[in-house]
Structure 1
Amino acid sequence: MPPIPPSPTPRIVIYYQTQHHPDGTPCSILPIITQPNIAVTHVNLAAIHLNDPPGHITLNDHVPSDPRYITLWAELQVLQASGVKVLGMLGGAAKGSFTRLDLDEATFEEYYCPLRDLIRQRGLDGLDLDVEEPMTLAGIIRLIDRLKSDFGQDFIITLAPVAAALISDNPEHNLSGFNYEALEVMRGKQIAWYNTQFYCGWGDVSRTDGYDFMIARGYPAEKIVIGMVTNPGNGSGWVPFEMLQEVLITLKSRYPGFGGVMGWEYFNSLPGDRERPWEWSEFMTKNLRDGFPTATSAAANSGASASALQNKQNPFLFADQDPKAEKEEAPLPKQFAYYSDSNTEV
């Protein structure tokens, strides 16, 4: 198969799961296109779940056709008409969807076909596969192949691994079960990029080390979108904007094809919080897509060549350890909670 057409980088990706305010009124996503100086490229609608029996699909806690989502679906169409790509996010912290898609062929068809029909009905531009439960490599490949077969090469398929899964081969540092390095070798041409979770103990966006190590392992810079929480209430690992700005400047200078950023999630994004959540996108647009300093020589600015990065220590090993030595494993980060419409008080 030919590779999917590249998308402009750096991308600005927003996860949109909390779609209503506590009083039940819609939390509009439209300001990302109506407010000035914002260039969001993709919105990931979260979270689609495949439940029992087959065909019982929910968007968070309700069926997608629930009247509460009338405004949501209409606004997403406006985004698409304005050039923003809208993807569905499948899975996430609520387990079960990928377990059901990882069974025998007949069972796969029973659960997959209603998902396919939902994608068609809502005109989604792609699907973000957030596999946070054990799944086989063969199972994720079957799902990717089927999506490409049904929707064509322009259909966007992304995955959302924790950062540790692209840094370490230790299965305890990977929520998905399958090996992402093997997946990239076997189906990399069909995967647009990775929305990599650098938060909740799985990565650190206050430093470039994790991203550097991923590139040293062979992942293309244009396929690594660095993910962050947009508010300390959305999970641990929030980084102040001054520090974050320095990291983004460094990555953009060091890697001309830098894949971009993603934020979990929209409704309470700082600095505007719930009153002005679009300001996070404004900050990212200013720093990623306007007037970023361009390196005359990426290698000179970074002070690190590809060969030097190959020798860089895995950030998931302790600082004073030899990477080849057998040492005690770093502690597994604790689980964290996703917030949805039924849990918005953070």
Structure 2
Amino acid sequence: MAETGPLGGRLLVMYYRTHHDGGRYRSPLALTARHTGLTDLVVGTVRLDTGGVVSLNSALPGAPGPAPMWADLAALREQGVRVLALLGGRRSFARLDHGFRTNYPPLKAFLRHYRLDGLDLRVPEPMSAGVTERLIDRLRADFGADFVISFAPTATELSGGSTPSALHYDRLYWSRGDEVDRFHVRMNGGGRDRTAAYERIVARGVIPPGKLVFSAPTSLSGSDDEILAGDELKTAVAGLLRRCPGFGGVAGWAYWEYVDALADPTDEPWRWAQEMGAVLGLGAGRARGR
């Protein structure tokens, strides 16, 4: 199993999907320069395309555009931040489901080439339990115990509700829970009832809170309702820390994308992470050990 974060396993995770905006490169380095306490950066979205091609945001890996990003990600890793890839997109999991032998090797090569520390699985389409278990087993065998394997289900999916992936997460945890490091629980929907939804998942007793990361949208982009922001979000997370012993931490969706979460955010894209890090007891130069 991969090592957890500091201070009882609390994690501060940021998703990083906007690598360029208007032709200008958006670097993630401020997340450590500003001492946010970041433990993990999830880079997305990685897609499995036809012909064994692995793409990142529809660009071929190694193209001139992503080159400075990969250098910055290597620098973050040198500072103790884990860098994960987010696997998602249309047909990626269907390709694994129907052609694992063809489509897994390019994914493995991509992860190895860029020396990534883990893989976050956001499954938006049907995927059989058997292939999901096979993927977990192969990742663990190929990359070892320190490689992070995480899933990004919705709160509804972890509450026993319906899922577009057709995955039964309770059964998945019963069969492979020891090999899954964490679940970044997407708290979309429900307005300001997100903390209650998280606590209901904890109360079910299937997955321990140390493996449940509270994943919140950082802006209204891609969200159909209100977001928790600023002091309100800090108060909500502080409450979860008190009420849920072993609380797994917080994830933000996503860096450079929070338009409404904080005052004047475009000049300080790191601030959301910095404020969450302070609530979690991270930051001020503290980084998790390897």
Q: TM over 0.5, yes or no? A: yes
* 8 A Cα contact 1:162 1:175, kept in partner: no
- Are 1:186 and 2:181 matched, yes or no? no
- Are 1:129 and 2:121 matched, yes or no? yes
* 1:110 equivalent among 97, 102, 107: 102
* 8 A Cα contact 2:234 2:275, kept in partner: no
Once superposed, which parts of structure 1, at least 4 consecutive aligned residues long, lie more than 4 Å away? 203-207
Map of 1:50 onto structure 2: 48
- Are 1:170 and 2:161 matched, yes or no? yes
Map of 1:248 onto structure 2: 237
SS, match of residue 46 in structure 1: strand
* 8 A Cα contact 1:204 1:210, kept in partner: no
Map of 1:143 onto structure 2: 135
- Mapped to 1, the partners of 2:63 and 2:131 lie a distance apart of 30
Query: Which runs of no fewer than 5 residues in structure 2 stay unpaired?
Result: 284-290
- Are 1:98 and 2:93 matched, yes or no? yes
* 8 A Cα contact 2:10 2:280, kept in partner: yes
| Identical columns (%) | 35
Greater relative contact order, per chain length (Cα 8 Å cut-off, separation 6+)? 2
- Mapped to 2, the partners of 1:290 and 1:43 lie a distance apart of 15
- Offset, 1:234: 3.8
- Offset, 1:212: 1.4
- Letter of the aligned partner of 1:231 in structure 2? S
Map of 2:214 onto structure 1: 226
Task: Provide the TM-score with structure 1 as the length reference.
Answer: 0.76
- Offset, 1:285: 1.1
Map of 1:13 onto structure 2: 13
Task: Provide the TM-score with structure 2 as the length reference.
Answer: 0.91
- Mapped to 1, the partners of 2:282 and 2:43 lie a distance apart of 26
- Mapped to 2, the partners of 1:26 and 1:46 lie a distance apart of 15
SS, match of residue 102 in structure 1: helix
Q: How does 1:277-316 map to 2 (within 5 A)?
A: 277-289=269-281
Query: Which runs of no fewer than 5 residues in structure 1 stay unpaired?
Result: 292-346
* 1:153 equivalent among 142, 145, 148: 145
* 8 A Cα contact 1:206 1:247, kept in partner: no
- Mapped to 2, the partners of 1:100 and 1:267 lie a distance apart of 30
Map of 1:63 onto structure 2: 60
- Offset, 1:111: 0.5
* 8 A Cα contact 2:36 2:282, kept in partner: no
Map of 1:81 onto structure 2: 78
Q: Which has the larger radius of gyration?
A: 1
